Chains A and B, each alone.
Chain A
Amino acid sequence: MVNVRTLPDVMQKQLNEVDCPVFKNKPWVRGGPLKERRVAILSSAGLHLRSDKHFVGGDHSYRVIPNDTDPGDIVMSHISVNFDRTAFQQDLNVTFPTKHLADMEEEGLIGSVASNHYSFMGATDPRDMEDDARQLAGVLKADQVDAVVLLPV
């Protein structure tokens, strides 16, 4: 469990009681070595460009964040106030590590970085995001992405 020591009882209870689905099938996609993979970030921090539409309650859509976006053009409109935002406010890479991916590409640890990254807003029930997620899979494959790192908040 996440740092329960710092979470009020009510938040611990909420996290413990989240209605998580149990999937019967366990998909597992095999791939080549990491140094040949093309990697994209999928955040659920409610990130988007300043020019994009902000997230609202129940929003199941995603936003596109090009890899070469100026870090100053990325903002957060997640509806929850119950996670720490001060880290994101000080350092984008703690939630959206494009700098680290660029370094890893340069060092040969990954093959390449995707043209675009993506963000949902995690307060929405992910079951409501299923259609968007499956559509996004096609978009990712069209960019030759074969590795996705999911970063919640």
Chain B
Amino acid sequence: MLAHYLEEEGLATTIVSLVRLHSETIEPPRSLFVSFELGRPLGQPNNHVLQREVLEQALGLLESDNGASLISDFDQSNDGTETNESWSPTATAFSDLDMTDVADLKKRLKDEIETLAPNYAMAKKTRGRSSVGVSKLTMDEIAEHVTSFLNEPHQESPREDLSSAMVLRFGVDDLKAFYAEAASHGGSPSSWQLGNWFWRDTVAGQILISLREAAMGQSDKRFNIVGSKFLVPRIWIDELNLKDS
């Protein structure tokens, strides 16, 4: 739709489309359909050859004189379920968790973060960037805030400009980014491998699953929405056979 508006204003556009049905219905001027995972318009991380191919093909559509609603298909696909055998997950503090012992869970989470910290630091240095930081909290503060909801949903916000529930949401985003960046350092795991590791084998994953369950039964509206909708991805709710919200 954005392409349609821009084109009406006189700007030539080309879109990399992840959902062919939407392009077929909306009919943007030019779209290159790619059969990649949602979230990966140019394919795979660190596969710059593939990324360039997608980008060049998408931009190449600008030279077509088709006249209206051109949909082209990229000839490679990747659904993210491949397994990279050379990647091995980072050891975590996951074993014999008592999900009712919040003090122990908090300690285990902090231990796990500490275990991953060297890999995270190396990944950040190697990549020259990190995507962690939307919550503007330290990982220790995130661990405190996230686990505090296991005891009591009416938490004070650690930030003046955001509600407690919003800080929870961004803190969880940062937590997941920290884990993924650390665990993928030096390897090329698929998103499926990273997800399996995070949601099945880490203390953080188990805490988020518990938080989601706790939030689903809460009358606190903000915690209920954030906890039930924005902590565990739908694909893992399904894969782990978690209760529907």
Q: Which residues of A contact B40 (CB under 8 A)?
A: 84, 87, 94-95, 153
Q: Which residues of A contact B42 (CB under 8 A)?
A: 93-95, 97, 151
How big is chain B's contact interface, by range? 35 or more
Cβ A34 vs Cβ B59 within 8 A: yes
B43 part of interface (Cβ distance < 8 Å): yes
Which residue of B is nearest A56, CB measured?
B166
Q: A7-B235, A86-B184, A92-B129 are in contact. Are A100 and B55 (CB under 8 A)?
A: yes
Cβ B37 vs Cβ A83 within 8 A: yes
Q: A21-B26, A95-B39 are in contact. Are A137 and B17 (CB under 8 A)?
A: no
Cβ A94 vs Cβ B43 within 8 A: yes
Which of B12, B26, B79, B229 lies in contact with A146, CB distance below 8 A? B12
Q: Mark A1-15, 1 if CB is under 8 A from B, else 0.
A: 111011111110001
Q: Mark B45-73, 1 if CB is under 8 A from A, else 0.
A: 11010011001101110110111110000
Q: Which residues of A contact B59 (CB under 8 A)?
A: 34, 37, 39, 104, 109-110, 147, 149
A side interface size, CB within 8 A: 85
Q: Which residues of A contact B37 (CB under 8 A)?
A: 2-3, 6, 83-84, 87
Q: A2-B18, A26-B69, A72-B130 are in contact. Are A95 and B10 (CB under 8 A)?
A: no
A146→B62 CA distance, assembly (Å): 10
Closest Cβ of chain A to B84, distance in Å, is 13
Cβ A149 vs Cβ B58 within 8 A: yes
Cβ B68 vs Cβ A26 within 8 A: yes
Interface of chain B, main secondary structure = mixed
Which of B17, B27, B65, B184 lies in contact with A90, CB distance below 8 A? B184
Which residue of B is nearest A127, CB measured?
B1
Q: Which residues of A contact B1 (CB under 8 A)?
A: 20-21, 126-127, 129-130
Closest Cβ of chain B to A47, distance in Å, is 10
Q: Which residues of B contact A140 (CB under 8 A)?
A: 6, 11
Cβ B21 vs Cβ A15 within 8 A: yes
- Would you list which residues of chain A between 61 and 120 have a CB under 8 Å from chain B? 70-72, 74-77, 79, 81-95, 97, 99-101, 103-104, 109-110, 120
Cβ A76 vs Cβ B62 within 8 A: no
Q: A26-B69, A30-B65, A95-B42 are in contact. Are A133 and B55 (CB under 8 A)?
A: no
Cβ A6 vs Cβ B192 within 8 A: yes
Q: Which residues of B contact A8 (CB under 8 A)?
A: 234-235, 237-239
B214 part of interface (Cβ distance < 8 Å): no
A137→B230 CA distance, assembly (Å): 32
Which of A70, A79, A84, A129 lies in contact with B2, CB distance below 8 A? A129
Cβ A71 vs Cβ B39 within 8 A: no
Cβ B11 vs Cβ A29 within 8 A: yes
Q: A7-B235, A8-B237, A147-B12 are in contact. List 5 more A-B contacts (CB 8 A).
A: A23-B4, A28-B67, A29-B12, A83-B39, A148-B11
What are 11 pairs between A and B in contact, CB < 8 Å? A11-B234, A11-B235, A21-B26, A23-B27, A26-B69, A34-B63, A77-B134, A85-B173, A129-B5, A145-B11, A146-B11
Interface residue ranges, B against A (CB under 8 Å): 1-22, 25-29, 35-46, 48, 51-52, 55-56, 58-60, 62-63, 65-69, 77, 79-81, 127-131, 133-134, 169-170, 173, 176-177, 180-181, 184, 191-192, 194-195, 229-235, 237-239
